[in-house]
Amino acid sequence: MSDSDTRPIETGPIETGPGETGPDETGSDDARPGDSGADRALVSPTGWSLWAGAPDESGRPLGPRARGALTADVCVVGAGYTGLWTAYHLARTHPALRVVVVEKETVGFGASGRNGGWCSALFPTAALAAQMRPALAATIDEIGAIALEEGIDCDFVKAGTLRVATTPAQATRLRRTAGTEWLDANEVAGIVRVAGAEGGVLDPDCAVLHPGRLVRGLAAAAERRGVTVFERSPARRIVPGRVVLDGGVVRADVIVRATEGYTATLPGLRREVVPIYSLVVATEPLGPATWDEIGWERRVAVTDDRHMIIYAQRTADGRIVLGGEGTPYHFGSRINPSFDVEPAIFDQLRQTLATLFPAAATARITHRWGGPLGVPRDWTPSVHLDRATGLAHAGGYVGDGVAASALAGQTLAELITGRSSERTGLPWVRGERRRWEPEPLRWLGITGGTRLARAVDARENRTGRPSRLGSVLAALTGGH
């Protein structure tokens, strides 16, 4: 990749080949936030989460639409964390490169703007977790440093993750791996008062943040360094050397696919990464008396050890954000704005909130939202550049993508510019991976796994002992 000049992005008349159309990279329709009813929470048909914010909050105007024929050195499809970190690091290390980002909706529309605000060193595959851990832990600190350097006010606080045992079965399982790091019930209560906590483990390698401010601030930082970000510019087809858009084409030596949970909507990629939905709720800001009962003075991330994963944080403005519980998958890897709204799962999340934090049981839920995350068949994220075709991709984070996407973006930037480093030697830098089974096997397997997780949790709650089926579930999901 040459960086010997400072050429601007070249434009020209539209040139498209016959039949170069296909699904867009997000597959979502235009809609507006609705009213949930009883507690008038903001519901998210299009990503209207707590983190959405005002369009001009970061001081960054909405990006232009891509029109006509454009030429760049690198074209990134998707303006979430993966795509923007890739573009940012390319521009930072090789400022002469012409880097273009195209996004169907707006910056951070997908999981980057809808997650629970954890930035952790968790890796979904147990077999590779130890090898990936040092790089992911270092990346957390680097995100905080870059946010400070670039003036991104994203409420970044690194206080760790408290994994609490809320049942005897969870306590037994956590004790097996905790060793001398085990915290008893009193020690847990000194950090945050979780009802029924029998003990827990504090993992230092996690921060919490405002994901919307981070992704919008990252886009602004990349643009200041010369990256062009086109919004409302859906990619219809990706082929070597060319991205076909609505009303335009981008030609580039390297094309990065950074579409995560929306990958299945691109031609030929329906079985590459499946979209599984995660749902989230946020309370109103809680008063001092409520926080006195809960504790949680440090903004430590909180979870327990159930198989149907949950995740929680205390926000900078004093809310509780709680997500998880659902993991619904829709037949055929379908994505639709209506899937962001699952009243039954929202109710489960509210019940879980009341169970874990009784002092917040009557707090008003002001925001409820959801969206798809990306899950590969082997449950292992990957980073890849095919030098023969110039096609690259990164993703498949299985819901643990805030730090992983930053590491992936920096790794992709190094691969694209030909630099070797410890990052480019990590085990997730690899080529082809196993594809998901065709339907109906895909739906049966994923739905069956979700039902098994619920059944294992119910059995453990009933017996007070870890279920042997838990090991079966772990084997199916790579130990996630």
Domain boundaries, the chain: 440-480
Asked whether the predicted pLDDT for residue 10 surpasses 50, the reply is yes
Q: Which one, of 159, 282, 164, lies nearest residue 209 by Cα?
A: 159
Q: How far, CA to CA in Å, does 213 sit from each of 60, 154, 161, 374?
A: 11, 5, 21, 22
- The average pLDDT across 262-290 equals 96
pLDDT recorded at residue 8: 56
Asked whether the predicted pLDDT for residue 4 surpasses 90, the reply is no
pTM score = 0.90
- The average pLDDT across 286-315 equals 96
Q: Which one, of 300, 62, 37, lies nearest residue 164 by Cα?
A: 300
Question: Between β-strands 199-203 and 161-165, what pairing exists: parallel, antiparallel or unpaired?
Answer: antiparallel
Band of the pLDDT at 37, cuts 50, 70, 90? very low
- The average pLDDT across 423-446 equals 94
Asked if residues 228 and 67 have their Cβ atoms less than 8 Å apart, the reply is no
- DSSP-assigned letter for residue 358: G
Asked if residues 320 and 284 have their Cβ atoms less than 8 Å apart, the reply is no
Residues 28 and 98: their CA atoms lie apart, in Å, by 29
Cis check: omega of the bond before 240, within 30 degrees of 0: no
Give, for 324, the enclosing helix (H) or strand (E).
strand 320-324
Band of the pLDDT at 60, cuts 50, 70, 90? confident
Residues 119 and 121: their CA atoms lie apart, in Å, by 7
In percent, the amount of the chain with pLDDT more than 70 equals 87
Q: Tell me which of 138-152, 263-277, 462-476 is least confident.
A: 462-476
Asked if residues 309 and 122 have their Cβ atoms less than 8 Å apart, the reply is no
Q: What is the three-class DSSP state of 293? A: helix
Cite the DSSP H helix spans in 158-249: 168-178, 185-189, 211-224
pLDDT tens, position by position, 115-136: 999 999 999 988 899 999 999 9
**Residue showing tokens 């979700």:** 450
DSSP character string of 296-308: --S--EEEE--SS
Q: What is the three-class DSSP state of 419? A: coil
Query: Cα angle at 365 between 108 and 352, to 5 degrees?
Result: 95
- Give the total residue count for the chain: 480
Q: Which one, of 252, 236, 319, 205, lies nearest residue 100 by Cα?
A: 252
Mean pLDDT, the chain, rounded, equals: 89
Type of residue at 346: F
List 71's β-bridge partners, or say none.
10, 251
